[in-house]
Amino acid sequence: MENKVFLITGASTGIGEATARRAIEAGFNVVLAARSTEKLERLRDQLGHERALAVTCDVADWQSQQAMVEKAKAHFGRIDVVFANAGFSKGSTFYGGEDKPDEWQEMVMVNVYGAAATARLTLPELVKNRGHLLITGSVVGRVTSIRNLYSATKWAVTGMAQAIRNEMVGTGVRVTLVEPGIVDTPFWDNLQKPDSAKELQADDIARAVMFAVSQPPHVDVNEILIRPTGQLH
């Protein structure tokens, strides 16, 4: 795994942070991208400056993502694995309560446009190295168990992963959609968690990500749907 590079958006907390730690353990160099400079730099310091690069990036902004990719290439010389993980939800139901148009726009831009831009800007590098693209979807991008726009954005991500996989046929690039259930991360700071017997930890998802990445080149783990034991939907 020496010299291979793993780029992660949404890397400052939760699943992204846990995956960065696992990627370092597996021998990757990592590019840590998120909006929070302070959190990114703290994580970089913990992982080591020689192995980790912190890049402040707003995935909803094309130029910001372009700069992220260029900094990664300039620093490490290549990109082998990309985890388009950035995303958020603050609720925002379709009926009732106050209108939240700015929140809706931000959620679509981060969850859908952001993931698409990450793919578009990094796939040329992944094709060069017969690399791997992973995208964070959600259980609610498969089963609509909550009543808000977030679920719709994750359905879009489900379709995006399938479309990219189709386009990458013949290139050697693998595409994995990671669909977590309830995970104990800052994602839930603004939401009511559904009833569940247990919660997953961020590291549970990180291990699943590394399982997909660690497969031999002829094995493409298309989807990983992972719920805590006892979660119904």
CA angle 148, 151, 152 (to 5 degrees): 95
Q: How far is CA 230 from the centre of its chain?
A: 24
Contacts of 103 (CB under 8 A, 6+ apart): 90, 92
- Catalytic residue ranges: 150
Kindly write down the DSSP assignment for every residue of 41-86, as one continuous string: HHHHHHH-TTTEEEEE--TT-HHHHHHHHHHHHHHHS---EEEE--
**Count of positions (residues) in the chain:** 233
3-state secondary structure of 175: strand
Q: How far is CA 29 from the centre of its chain?
A: 17
Rounded to whole angstroms, what are the CA distances from 180 to 10, 41, 66, 157, 221?
15, 26, 28, 13, 15
Amino acid at 137: G
Cα(141)–Cα(121) distance, integer angstroms: 24
Cα(31)–Cα(41) distance, integer angstroms: 11
Rounded to whole angstroms, what are the CA distances from 115 to 84, 158, 178?
6, 11, 13
